[in-house]
Amino acid sequence: MSTETEEKAVVPTEAKPGELLADTDKDLVGSSVMISYSRKDKAFVKNIYDALAVDDRNIWVDWEDIPPSNDWLDEIHKGIEQSDAFIFVLSPDSIKSEVCTWEVDHAVANGKRIIPVVCRDVDYREVRKELASLNWIFFRPDGDDFEAAMKLLLKALDLDLRHARYHTKLLTRAIAWKKHEFEKSLLLQGNDLARAKHWLSASALGKEPKPTVLHLSFITCSEQLSSAMKRRKSVAVFFLFIVGIGIAWPDWGVFFFSLVFAHFFVYFTSLTGA
């Protein structure tokens, strides 16, 4: 697949720190989706694209042939990462396509909701297990009802929509954190961290898609940093309080005891991870 797409640009919303994961009007529309397919199934994909575009959703699909390059692969990866779902068009050509294999690899690695749709019959034994184990939606021209299949596809795409949207939001932020060598300033804070922990709890209760290792690392490190910052603030306040006592009662013994006590408090608090 090439880098040219027919999607609306994904523009980050301006928000205050701690509110970057807040819901927006965009979250009320259908899930964003990337379509992976073989060039020989282009006509079928155009029909799928037109049917999905009616709902004004973001669709990442590429129509032209460009030789693979680093920039091209980066665009493919970005399209997958920023989409809530990944449609794979099953056909004898797509399951043998090296490019399609790369795309499925990246979708699997990023924990994307993968929806296989069949436009031409394939040998089940030749389909990789990540696709073979999923429910297929059949769009074959020799007897399958296109409208009925589209209803099934839309239902699959928008299942637990808000949960899937948060999966994408958290993933894109976690990837940026990783690319910037795990910069602490990019970790979650405030309401964003609270939302992420709530999302993680919903995942544990069975909602899909599930978090990846990167999701878990990002949220865990955010929580650890948040806890450390709270402890440091408590230490600073308590230290100032003790010093204030020493100043209020300038007797040398009281002042000395206050300083010693404050330093011991700081030391033992640091042992807990502050």
Determine the pLDDT at residue 68. 63
Higher local confidence (pLDDT), 2 or 42 = 42
Could you report the per-residue pLDDT of 166-181, keeping only the tens digit for each? 999 999 999 999 999 9
Domain with CATH 3.40.50.10140 in the chain: 25-160
Determine the pLDDT at residue 196. 95
Determine the pLDDT at residue 274. 47
Q: What is the mean pLDDT of residues 210-220?
A: 96
Could you report the per-residue pLDDT of 17-65, keeping only the tens digit for each? 555 656 655 555 789 999 999 999 999 999 999 999 988 889 998 877 6
Determine the pLDDT at residue 3. 40
Q: Beta 85-90 vs 33-36: how paired, if at all?
A: parallel
Q: Which two tokens stand for residue 267?
A: 């030391």
Determine the pLDDT at residue 253. 55
Higher local confidence (pLDDT), 127 or 234 = 127
Q: What is the mean pLDDT of residues 236-259?
A: 62
CATH number for the domain formed by residue range(s) 25-160: 3.40.50.10140
Q: Which two tokens stand for residue 47?
A: 């029909």
Of the pLDDT bands very low, low, confident and very high (cuts 50, 70, 90), residue 10 is: very low
